[in-house]
Copies of this chain bind each other. A is one copy, B any other.
Amino acid sequence: MSATSSELTDSYLFRDLPAADKAEWSRLASRRTLAVGERLFSQGDKATGLFVVLSGGVRVFKLSPDGRRQVLHTFGPGEPVGEVAMLSGGAYPANAEAAASTTLAYLERARFLQALGESPQLAMNLLATLAGRLKLFAEVIEDLSFKEVSARLAGHLLAAWEAQGQPSRLTLPGTKGELADQLGTAPETLSRTMGKLERAGLLQVKGRSLGLPDPEGLRSIVEAGRLERDKEP
Q: Determine, out of A2-10, A125-133, A156-164, the stretch whose residues face the partner at the interface.
A: A125-133
Q: Is A36 an interface residue (CB 8 A)?
A: no
Residue numbers in B under 8 Å from A117 (CB-CB): 120-121, 124
* Residue from B62, B94, B225 within 8 A of A146 (CB atoms): B62
Do residues A128 and B88 form an inter-chain contact, with CB atoms below 8 A? Answer: yes
Interface centre among A139, A141, A224, A225 (most CB of B within 10 A): A141
CB-based nearest B residue for A140: B141
What residues of chain A have their CB less than 8 Å away from a CB belonging to chain B? 62, 64-66, 68, 70, 72, 83-84, 87-88, 93-94, 116-121, 123-124, 126-128, 130-135, 137-142, 144-146, 184, 223-225
Q: Given A68-B146, A120-B117, is A138 in contact with B62 using a C-beta cutoff of 8 Å?
A: yes
Q: Is the interface of A mostly helix, strand, loop or mixed?
A: helix
Q: How far is the CB of A188 from chain B (nearest CB, A)?
A: 17
* Residue from B72, B141, B184 within 8 A of A62 (CB atoms): B141
Do residues B142 and A88 form an inter-chain contact, with CB atoms below 8 A? Answer: no
A17 to B52, CA, bound (A): 30
Do residues B116 and A124 form an inter-chain contact, with CB atoms below 8 A? Answer: yes
A64 to B124, CA, bound (A): 32
Q: Given A127-B130, A130-B131, is A146 in contact with B72 using a C-beta cutoff of 8 Å?
A: no
* Residue from B65, B127, B223 within 8 A of A126 (CB atoms): B127
